[in-house]
């Protein structure tokens, strides 16, 4: 099948449509975040991605489309899976394969916009991204802060090399390194902003050490996204965001509509032993939302806390 060459007008229209969708889905996003999605292309960073059909992970390439519908797919407000069990979409057989779980992806734009808005990146901020993936998020960070002050790290040479090349080809020159998520990138520290899009059980010590006092850390912790401010004493404290890049889904005799409630799914993750008891407890505490919870992360101990209107405080150690 012949590759479709998209015109600049088609690409600009697709980017503009995505920016409008991101702004519509967001909760009072900063104009500079929406502007980043308008000005930074997505399609060069996801030349091939997976679609799941009838249990198969199928690679979708631009060559598979005879019109501009490929652009519509790439610029849709959804996550694009680019690696399954370490197999990159570019390397997958045309007929796909069964089984496996996503190990790298381009995040859903509207949720990514919420993370970037919470990160509050300003020009000149020193920024560390944990999990380079396709490189698209790093490109957005470069647009917001400037390439010279952005560092991004991922776990494999393949991810790092591909992302570095794509970023360079599109005019972005951040520092791209291979590193474990928990290690951060000490050579570029201290950072004013640290962003992670993949969940961690607790904030790694390296992130606390590498974040400057007054800096922000935005990362999924305990099933929800936390926004923390680094304090002068070495701790980072903050709250959870209302939105989340993926809600936990549980299965039990309890009504599935209740389990789909993001407020309860967060509470249930804090009470994993007995789901029905967790539901009763959640109701007894007047259905607290996750943005009402706090997270305190120190070098030696970390905990999630909730203070009820009557002053009663509950804590869960991480």
CA distance 60 to 123: 36
Task: Specify the DSSP class assigned to residue 190.
Answer: S
DSSP 3-state assignment of 39? helix
Task: Specify the DSSP class assigned to residue 4.
Answer: P
Contacts with 252 (C-beta within 8 Å, 6 or more apart), sequence order: 259, 275, 276
Residue with tokens 């393949």: 158
Contacts with 61 (C-beta within 8 Å, 6 or more apart), sequence order: 47, 48
CA distance 33 to 188: 24
Report which secondary-structure segment, H or E, holds 47.
Answer: none
Alpha-helical regions (H) of the chain: 8-25, 31-39, 69-74, 109-119, 136-145, 157-169, 205-210, 256-259, 262-270, 275-284
Distances (CA, A) of 25 to 17, 38, 75, 236, 260: 12, 15, 14, 29, 19
Strand arrangement of the beta sheet that strand 211-221 belongs to: 175-178, 150-154, 127-130, 191-196, 211-221, 224-230, 236-240, 294-297, 302-307, 313-317
Q: Which residue out of 7, 54, 104, 105 is catalytically annotated?
A: 105
Active site residue 105: yes
Number of other residues whose CB lies within 10 A of the CB of residue 12: 12
What is the torsional sign of CA 128, 134, 138, 144?
negative
Catalytic residue list: 105
């Amino acid at each position: 099948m012949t590759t479709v060459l998209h015109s600049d007008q088609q690409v600009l229209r697709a980017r503009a449509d995505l920016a409008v969708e991101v702004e519509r889905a967001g909760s009072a996003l900063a104009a500079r975040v929406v502007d980043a999605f308008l000005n930074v292309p997505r399609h060069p960073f996801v030349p091939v991605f997976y679609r799941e059909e009838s249990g198969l992970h199928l690679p979708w390439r631009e060559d598979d489309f005879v019109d501009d519908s490929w652009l519509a797919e790439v610029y849709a407000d959804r996550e694009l899976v680019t690696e399954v069990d370490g197999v990159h979409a570019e390397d997958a057989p045309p007929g796909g394969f069964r089984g496996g779980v996503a190990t790298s992806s381009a995040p859903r734009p509207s949720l990514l916009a919420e993370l970037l808005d919470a990160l509050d990146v300003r020009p000149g901020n020193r920024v560390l991204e944990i999990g380079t993936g396709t490189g698209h998020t790093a490109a957005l960070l470069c647009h917001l802060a400037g390439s010279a002050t952005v560092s991004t790290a991922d776990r494999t040479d393949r991810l790092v090399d591909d992302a570095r090349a794509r970023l360079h080809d599109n005019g972005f020159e951040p520092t791209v390194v291979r590193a474990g998520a928990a290690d951060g990138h000490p050579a570029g520290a201290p950072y004013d902003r640290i962003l992670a899009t993949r969940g961690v059980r607790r904030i790694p010590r390296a992130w606390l050490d590498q974040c400057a006092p007054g800096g922000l850390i935005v990362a999924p912790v305990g099933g929800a996204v936390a926004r923390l401010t680094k304090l002068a004493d070495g701790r980072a404290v903050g709250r959870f965001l209302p939105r989340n890049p993926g809600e936990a889904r549980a299965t039990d005799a309890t009504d599935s509509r209740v389990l789909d409630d993001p407020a309860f799914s967060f509470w249930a993750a804090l009470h994993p032993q007995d789901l029905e008891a967790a539901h009763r407890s959640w109701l007894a505490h007047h259905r607290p939302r996750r943005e009402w919870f706090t997270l305190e992360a120190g070098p030696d101990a970390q905990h999630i806390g909730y203070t009820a209107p009557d002053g009663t405080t509950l804590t869960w150690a991480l």
